[in-house]
Amino acid sequence: MGQRTAPAPQSAHAPQPAPAPQAEPASEAGLEEHFERTIAAEARVEPRDWMPDGYRKTMIRQIAQHAHSEIIGMQPEGNWITRAPSLRRKAILLAKVQDEAGHGLYLYSAAETLGADRADLTEKLITGRQKYSSIFNYPTLSYTDVGVIGWLVDGAAICNQVPLCRSSYGPYARAMIRICKEESFHQRQGYELLMTMMRGTAAQQAMVQDSVDRWWWPSLMMFGPPDADSPNTAQSMAWKVKRHTNDELRQRFVDMTVPQADALGVSLPDPELRWNTGRGHYDFGAIDWDEFKRVISGGGPCNAQRVARRRSAHEAGAWVREAAAAHARKTTTPYPERIGATGGAPRD
């Protein structure tokens, strides 16, 4: 797997110089100790560094699921591109969906730095062997869903992802910095769309409320199962892959979103939602974890459609990948080898 080199810990934002000369750790134990010291020093683990197999597997799984979520996440909003209500809204939505494609590509590249093969990851997605965020298995029934996805789904993604800018794996942490800037823009465009609708007719206001009612609980599920049912959290926190638990992030999202809902003039569909002075946080009602488990394991309203569309797009794109690979071979192979040893006379 990884090379058996152990560079000195580096600061998060320092350029990446050649490893400082030092004695090569003599054993696996020495390499592991160096890895632990790197984590403890808040330095980054880089692709060339030795890392435990468990860390590598965890990072590949997390980054792949994140990449798949970005790519599958293009579908619910892509559904409204041809029906956006104005040229301006269509241009915004197109740009937003393209951003998500870009996020997916960064993340597949980050997974490749760990030795994962992108074709293999795609295969795992389209055969249902790797998961993506449960949220994208819900349908977008009206145009206001575009605004609510920007506000709540990108908002929840920001809560999840800002701490990942300090994730211990360098390529992932650096990808997150740019992705978070774009997610923040997505959230604001969603909120602006909803503000515009809320200044409109009673029918438009009702559409916004209907979207909020449908997306609120699935948004809370985006943070994953409660801490008590999240067996991998402790190890991910120890490796500083994860900085906060699922429940901490969910609470942060609720605390951030309630005042935004008030400013917007919508209600959140939870009668138990109220400020708790003692805790300094909002209390909220019980999440339907049976629904979460059903949706994440394939039983949501759109799981089959999302994966089928991804599979057919992948298959329909085979000729593009073949052409790109042929072009790459042509431009990287020296000309005499290209025409073959007994090839004809050069044509140019």
Give contact residues for Fe ion (rule: CB under 5 A): 70, 100, 103, 154, 183, 186
To the nearest whole angstrom, how small is the minimum distance from the Cβ of residue 70 to Fe ion?
5
To the nearest whole angstrom, how small is the minimum distance from the Cβ of residue 255 to Fe ion?
21
To the nearest whole angstrom, how small is the minimum distance from the Cβ of residue 347 to Fe ion?
46
Q: Which is nearer to Fe ion, 161 or 245 (CB)?
A: 161
Structure token digits, residue 107: 């993340």
CA–CA gap between residue 168 and residue 269 (Å, rounded): 37
Structure token digits, residue 97: 């969906």
Q: Which is nearer to Fe ion, 59 or 107 (CB)?
A: 107
Q: Which is nearer to Fe ion, 45 or 162 (CB)?
A: 162
Q: Which is nearer to Fe ion, 51 or 146 (CB)?
A: 146
To the nearest whole angstrom, how small is the minimum distance from the Cβ of residue 198 to Fe ion?
22
Closest alpha carbon to 211 in 263, 249, 267: 267
Q: Which is nearer to Fe ion, 151 or 284 (CB)?
A: 151
To the nearest whole angstrom, how small is the minimum distance from the Cβ of residue 71 to Fe ion?
10
To the nearest whole angstrom, how small is the minimum distance from the Cβ of residue 182 to Fe ion?
6
To the nearest whole angstrom, how small is the minimum distance from the Cβ of residue 99 to Fe ion?
6
**Cβ of 219: how many Cβ atoms within 10 Å?**
24
To the nearest whole angstrom, how small is the minimum distance from the Cβ of residue 169 to Fe ion?
18
CA–CA gap between residue 190 and residue 173 (Å, rounded): 25
**Cβ of 101: how many Cβ atoms within 10 Å?**
13
Q: Which is nearer to Fe ion, 9 or 76 (CB)?
A: 76
DSSP 276: E
**Cβ of 317: how many Cβ atoms within 10 Å?**
11
To the nearest whole angstrom, how small is the minimum distance from the Cβ of residue 12 to Fe ion?
22
Q: Which is nearer to Fe ion, 100 or 270 (CB)?
A: 100
The vertex-85 CA angle with 137 and 256, nearest 5°, equals: 55
Q: Which is nearer to Fe ion, 73 or 170 (CB)?
A: 73
CA–CA gap between residue 194 and residue 177 (Å, rounded): 26
Q: What is the maximum alpha-carbon separation in the chain?
A: 85
CA–CA gap between residue 115 and residue 129 (Å, rounded): 18
Closest alpha carbon to 65 in 159, 187, 161, 195: 161
At 298, the amino acid letter reads: G
Do 67 and 176 touch, CB atoms closer than 8 A? no
Do 100 and 190 touch, CB atoms closer than 8 A? no
Q: What are phi and psi of 276, to 5 degrees?
A: -110, 105
Report how far apart, in Å, the C-alpha atoms of 264 and of each of 201, 212, 260 are: 14, 11, 6
Q: Which is nearer to Fe ion, 78 or 226 (CB)?
A: 78
